[in-house]
């Protein structure tokens, strides 16, 4: 990152979870393919499954059963996958490099929240078990926390309001076009992370304020 990066005037950060703070794709893929195996179906490749991550569990399963050629088994796969995945959320899921150190640096000066399209109880379990919950003052929202989910800006606006920070001084960080569009819909600043699950082309098309290749590069825009 060059020394002339323009600093962003923000007071609150809203962070995505999967593909931004945590690398959870192996546990998602393992649980989905375990479910398929119980039904006698062939597993899907990691590349295919990774492309379905980010919009929540129901869209993930819907896309997966279509890709597997068994859309009529959606309800069966959804129910079995939910239980299996909750029990195995943290078998392989880990923080991306630099996440804990960066949040430690940011915590004294910035209010922070998480908005994920993953169900709330799963989001909370992951953040708690990985030691992230201490940074977010209870401002952790899943895809079912409200009646709408990203790219709807409701959760982002709620976090900004709880912290009494204008949405224009809120920064949304995520790995997908859904995250960037949610931030823009809230009137927030946006940064896309290129190491996550979606393509750089998708992120660029959403036109974030910046793209970063490592989570700790966020510090260059804030500190």
Tokens at 124, concatenated: 């909370």
Q: Where are the alpha helices (DSSP H) in 39-73?
A: 46-50, 57-68
**Distance (Å, whole) CA 53 – CA 120:** 16
Phi-psi region of 211 (alpha: psi -120 to 50; beta: other; left: phi over 0): beta
Chain-centre distance for alpha carbon 75: 24
- Distant-in-sequence, close-in-space partners of 66: CB < 8 Å, separation ≥ 6: none
Name the residue among 98, 121, 124, 188 with its Cα closest to residue 150: 188
- Return the residue matching tokens 């079995």: 80
Would you please indicate which residues are annotated as catalytic (active-site) residues?
Answer: 16
Geometric angle at alpha carbon 120, from 94 and 106, rounded to 5°: 55
Q: In whole angstroms, what separates CA 107 from the centre of its chain?
A: 19
């Amino acid at each position: 990152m060059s020394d002339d990066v323009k600093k962003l005037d923000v007071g609150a950060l809203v962070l995505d979870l999967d593909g931004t703070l945590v690398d959870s794709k192996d546990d998602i893929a393992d649980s989905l393919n375990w479910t398929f195996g119980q039904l006698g179906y062939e597993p899907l490749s990691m590349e295919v499954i990774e492309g379905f991550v980010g919009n929540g569990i129901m869209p993930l399963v819907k896309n997966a059963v279509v890709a597997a050629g068994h859309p009529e088994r959606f309800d069966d796969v959804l129910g079995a996958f939910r239980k299996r995945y909750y029990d195995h959320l943290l078998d392989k899921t880990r923080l991306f490099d630099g996440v804990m150190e960066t949040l430690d640096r940011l915590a004294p000066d910035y209010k922070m929240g998480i908005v994920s399209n993953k169900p709330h109880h799963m989001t909370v379990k992951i953040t708690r078990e990985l030691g992230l919950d201490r940074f977010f003052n209870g401002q952790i929202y899943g895809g079912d926390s409200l009646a709408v989910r990203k790219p709807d800006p409701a959760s982002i606006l709620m976090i900004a309001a709880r912290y009494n920070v204008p949405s224009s001084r809120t920064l949304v960080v995520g790995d997908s076009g859904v995250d960037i569009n949610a931030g823009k819909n809230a009137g927030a600043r946006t940064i896309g992370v290129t190491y996550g699950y979606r393509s750089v082309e998708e992120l660029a098309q959403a036109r974030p304020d910046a793209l970063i290749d490592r989570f700790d590069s966020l510090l260059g825009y804030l500190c």
